[in-house]
Structure 1
Amino acid sequence: MRFRLTDDQRALREGVRELLARCFGREALRAAVRAPGRLDRTLWRTLGEAGFFALRLPEADGGVGLGLPEAVLAFEEAGRALLPGPLVATHLAAGGVPGAARGETVVAAVDGELAEWLDAADVVRGDASGAVPLRSVDPLTPLHRLPGTAAPDPVAGLPAPVAAAPDPVAVLLTAAEQLGTAGRVCELAVQHARAREQFGRPIGAFQAVQHLCADLLVRVETARAAVYAAAVTADPADIAAARLLADEAAVRGARDCLQVHGGMGFTWEADVHLHLKRAWVRERRAGGGTQSEELLAAALAD
Structure 2
Amino acid sequence: MRFQLTEEQRALRDGVRQLLARRWDVRRAPAALDPPLAPPPGPSESPSESPSVALPELDRALWRELGAAGFFALRLPEADGGAGAGLAEAVLAFEEAGRALLPGPLVATHLAAGTVPGAATGETVVTAVDGPLVEWLAAADVVRGDASGAVPVRSVDPLTPLHRVPGPPSPAPPTLLAQALPPPPDPTAVLLTAAEQLGTATRVCELAVQHARTREQFGQPIGAFQAVKHLCADMLVRAETARAAVYAAAVTGDPVDVAAARLLADEAAVRGARDCLQVHGGMGFTWESEVHLHLKRAWLRARRRGGGAESEELLAADLTA
Coarse TM-score class (shorter-chain normalised) = over 0.9
Structure 1 ranges of 4+ moved more than 6 A: 149-153
TM-score by structure 2 length?
A: 0.89
- What is the letter of the counterpart of residue 17 of structure 1? R
Matches within 5 A, 1:61-72: 61-72=80-91
What's 2:23 paired with? Answer: 23
Change (3 A) 1:212 1:104: same
- What is the letter of the counterpart of residue 307 of structure 2? G
Tell me the CA shift for residue 34 of structure 1.
3.3
1:287 & 1:272 partners in 2: Cα distance? Answer: 25
What's 2:232 paired with? Answer: 213
1:257 & 1:179 partners in 2: Cα distance? Answer: 15
What's 2:320 paired with? Answer: 301
CA RMSD of aligned residues (A): 2.0
1:39 aligns with 2:58: yes
Contact 2:208–2:279 under 8 Å retained in 1? yes
Contact 1:37–1:120 under 8 Å retained in 2? no
Contact 2:65–2:122 under 8 Å retained in 1? yes
TM-score by structure 1 length?
A: 0.95
What's 2:104 paired with? Answer: 85
- What is the letter of the counterpart of residue 22 of structure 1? R
Q: Deviations over 1:214-241 (max 9, x none)?
A: 0000000000000000000000000000
2:30 & 2:19 partners in 1: Cα distance? Answer: 17
Instruction: State the number of aligned residues.
Output: 298
2:116 & 2:70 partners in 1: Cα distance? Answer: 15
Contact 1:108–1:116 under 8 Å retained in 2? yes
- What is the letter of the counterpart of residue 197 of structure 1? E
Secondary structure, aligned partner of 2:134:
strand
1:149 & 1:140 partners in 2: Cα distance? Answer: 29
Secondary structure, aligned partner of 1:110:
strand
What's 2:6 paired with? Answer: 6
Aligned equivalent of 1:243, options 262, 267, 276:
262
- What is the letter of the counterpart of residue 215 of structure 1? D
Contact 1:108–1:121 under 8 Å retained in 2? yes
Matches within 5 A, 1:124-143: 124-143=143-162
Matches within 5 A, 1:104-143: 104-143=123-162
Tell me the CA shift for residue 295 of structure 1.
1.0
Tell me the CA shift for residue 282 of structure 1.
0.4
Contact 2:242–2:264 under 8 Å retained in 1? yes
1:164 & 1:41 partners in 2: Cα distance? Answer: 31
Tell me the CA shift for residue 37 of structure 1.
2.1
Contact 1:113–1:149 under 8 Å retained in 2? no
What's 2:46 paired with? Answer: none
2:250 & 2:147 partners in 1: Cα distance? Answer: 30
1:167 aligns with 2:202: no
Tell me the CA shift for residue 162 of structure 1.
2.0
Q: Deviations over 1:143-163 (max 9, x none)?
A: 11122179979xxxx99x623
Whichever of the two has the greater Rg, that structure is 2
1:27 & 1:280 partners in 2: Cα distance? Answer: 19
2:33 & 2:27 partners in 1: Cα distance? Answer: 10
Structure 2 residue ranges without an equivalent (≥5): 36-54
1:219 & 1:128 partners in 2: Cα distance? Answer: 36
- What is the letter of the counterpart of residue 16 of structure 1? V
Contact 2:26–2:290 under 8 Å retained in 1? no
Contact 1:114–1:284 under 8 Å retained in 2? no
What's 1:50 paired with? Answer: 69
